């Protein structure tokens, strides 16, 4: 069988490796000078390659997610990685990393598998057309026409990359809008004094007073707004609503003293009556954050200061752009795919980031990209691939 894989990211490389090990004639078309460009920068260069605690709550609602999770366990994913020479460990929160702590090393391992089993890599090239021809398909790459028995679309998303053109490959009714996700947010009236400050907080996202989601973790204040993993995860809610064409009047509310209840904090501040306002939060908050809370609350009672610290609100203005987003919400809708083969009506197989599937931070997206490719093969084909290294 002759297979053309369009895109050399995690999904495309996984599909290509398993295909090669099953004796297929595989060609990978990659628009960059090297495959695995995005993989090489994940996890701040360490490659957060998966998550031991992955489940459907980590993703937007999709039939494809349930299909993938039911078919490919974390242990089987590890088995695939080990067959490629990638051994992993996990941290206390279940995030998986390669033993090498090197994202570029992960790419090297995957690329070596393709070289070892005879795949053809066409780099610095872009597929521009796809069509049915006879009993197979033809993929146009520059001046070349490549004939194949199966074509796989795994060309990624606009996040941290040039937006792929999906129109030649995907029926128009199968495409949803695309929106940057897992991305910092711009908020209105940001106080510049907070720029660069990091604080542990409980963060809630509201829309017109209704709670949409909550996360806990480190918040990074920037001159434009808010960042940090918990903010990025909440940005996914806004992005998914945008894909569904839902607008909102969003507010981020931070509890910057999560260790104390509002009553306990108020009692502590009441015990500091007579202290200068700029010293009320000594030993509790960073001076810059204390200054901001006092300035925002004005000449008020300790109870008011406590309430502000427990409910520090920032009105949402917009999601930042593709260059700062980790993933994309939206893409090819699972409703128009064969749930078993991932084929669209024109015969092309769509995998990974091109699908309307996005997960929270912590390795969920790389896992899904690879697992979506794995589950298109039979158990026997996967077992055969894992037995080879």
Are both 151 and 53 inside the same structural domain? yes
Q: What span, in angstroms and rounded, lies between the C-alpha atoms of 340 and 377?
A: 10
Say yes or no: 336 and 240 in one domain. no
- Are 108 and 251 in a shared domain? no
Q: Give the mean model confidence (pLDDT) for residues 192-206.
A: 97
Q: Write down the pLDDT at residue 278.
A: 83
Compute CA 289 distance to the chain's CA centroid, rounded to the nearest angstrom.
30
Q: Are residues 306 and 379 in the same domain?
A: no
Quick one: 87 and 201 in the same domain? no
* Residue 86 and residue 118 share a domain: yes
Specify the DSSP class assigned to residue 166.
-
Instruction: Find the helix or strand (DSSP H, E) in which 306 lies.
Output: helix 302-310
- Looking at residue 44, its pLDDT comes to 84
Q: Where are the alpha helices (H) located in 88-246, listed in sequence order?
A: 103-116, 229-243
The confidence score (pLDDT) of residue 371 equals 98
Task: Report the DSSP pairing between strands 2-6 and 25-29.
Answer: parallel
pLDDT at 290 over 80: yes
- Tracing tokens 């907070």 back to the chain, one arrives at 194
- In this structure, the answer to whether residues 102 and 199 fall within a common structural domain is no
- What sign results for the dihedral spanned by CA atoms 26, 29, 34, 40? negative
289 vs 256: CA distance, rounded Å: 9
Enter the tokens of residue 19.
């295909």
Q: Which of 280, 302, 319 is the endpoint of a domain?
A: 319
Give pLDDT, residue 339. 86
Whole-model pTM: value is 0.93
Structural domain count of the chain: 2
User: Is pLDDT at 277 greater than 90 in this prediction?
Assistant: no
Mean pLDDT of the chain: 95
Same domain membership, residue 91 and residue 74: yes
CATH number of the domain bearing residue 170: 3.50.50.60
Length reported for the chain: 389
| Model confidence band, residue 123 (pLDDT cutoffs 50, 70, 90) | very high
- Tens of pLDDT, residue by residue over 334-354, are 888 998 899 999 999 999 999
Q: How wide is the angle at C-alpha 208 spanned by C-alphas 202 and 214, nearest 5°? A: 20
Give me the residue label for tokens 């026409």: 145
Please name which of 357, 376, 358, 354 lies closest in space to residue 168, comparing C-alpha atoms.
354
Of 300 and 311, the structure prediction assigns the larger pLDDT to 311
Shared domain check, 10 and 128: yes
What would the two tokens of residue 334 be? 């699972």
10-59 pLDDT per residue, tens: 999 999 999 999 999 999 999 999 999 999 888 888 999 999 999 999 99
Residue 299, pLDDT > 90, answer no
pLDDT of 62 > 80? The answer is no
Same domain, 64 and 212: no
Q: Alpha carbon of 180 to those of 211, 233, 235, 320: distances in Å? A: 22, 12, 9, 7
Residue ranges making up the domain that contains 194 = 184-319
Mean pLDDT of 343-366: 96
Percent of the chain exceeding pLDDT 70 equals 100
pLDDT band at 98 (very low <50, low <70, confident <90, very high): very high
pLDDT of residue 63 exceeding 90, the answer is no
Whether residues 28 and 170 fall in one domain: yes
Beta strands in 134-193 (DSSP E): 136-141, 144-148, 150-153, 179-181, 185-187
Last residue of one domain, picked from the residues 272, 293, 319 = 319
Domain stops at, among 285, 301, 319: 319
Alpha-carbon distances of 239 from 72, 176, 296, rounded to whole Å: 27, 12, 29
Tell me the pLDDT band of 363, cut-offs 50, 70 and 90. very high
Q: Which two tokens stand for residue 155?
A: 């060309």
Q: 201 and 217 in one domain?
A: yes
Q: Is the confidence at residue 61, as pLDDT, over 80?
A: no
């Amino acid at each position: 069988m002759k297979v053309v894989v369009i895109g050399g990211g995690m999904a495309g490389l996984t599909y290509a490796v398993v295909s090669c090990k099953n004796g297929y004639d595989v060609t990978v078309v990659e628009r960059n000078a090297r495959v695995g460009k995005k993989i090489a920068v994940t996890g701040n260069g360490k490659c957060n390659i998966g998550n031991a605690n992955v489940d459907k709550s980590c993703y937007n609602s999709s039939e494809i997610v349930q299909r993938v999770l039911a078919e490919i366990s974390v242990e089987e994913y590890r088995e695939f990685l080990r067959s490629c020479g990638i051994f992993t460990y996990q941290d206390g929160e279940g995030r998986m990393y390669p033993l090498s702590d090197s994202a570029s090393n992960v790419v090297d391992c995957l690329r070596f598998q393709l070289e070892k089993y005879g795949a053809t890599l066409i780099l610095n090239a872009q597929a521009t057309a796809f069509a049915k021809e006879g009993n197979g398909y033809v993929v146009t790459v520059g001046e070349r026409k490549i004939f194949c028995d199966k074509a796989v679309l795994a060309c990624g998303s606009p996040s941290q990359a040039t937006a792929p053109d999906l129109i030649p490959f995907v029926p128009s009714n199968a495409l949803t809008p695309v929106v940057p996700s897992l991305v910092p947010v711009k908020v209105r009236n940001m106080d510049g004094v907070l720029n660069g400050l990091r604080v542990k907080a409980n963060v809630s996202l509201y829309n017109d007073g209704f709670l949409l989601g909550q996360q806990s973790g480190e918040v990074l204040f920037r001159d434009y707004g808010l960042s940090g993993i918990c903010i990025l995860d909440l940005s996914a809610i806004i992005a998914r609503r945008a894909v569904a064409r839902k607008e909102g009047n969003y507010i981020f509310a931070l509890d910057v003293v999560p260790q104390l209840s509002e009553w306990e904090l108020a009692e502590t501040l009441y015990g500091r009556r007579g202290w200068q306002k700029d010293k009320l939060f000594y030993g509790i908050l960073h001076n810059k954050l204390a200054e901001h809370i006092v300035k925002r609350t004005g000449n008020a009672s300790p109870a008011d200061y406590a309430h502000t610290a427990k409910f520090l609100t920032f009105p949402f203005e917009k999601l930042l752009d593709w260059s700062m987003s980790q993933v994309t919400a939206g893409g090819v809708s699972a409703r128009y795919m064969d749930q078993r083969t991932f084929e669209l009506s024109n015969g092309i197989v769509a995998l990974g980031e091109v699908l309307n599937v996005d997960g929270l931070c912590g390795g969920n997206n790389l896992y899904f990209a690879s697992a979506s490719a794995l589950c298109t093969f039979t158990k026997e084909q996967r077992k055969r691939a894992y037995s080879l290294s």
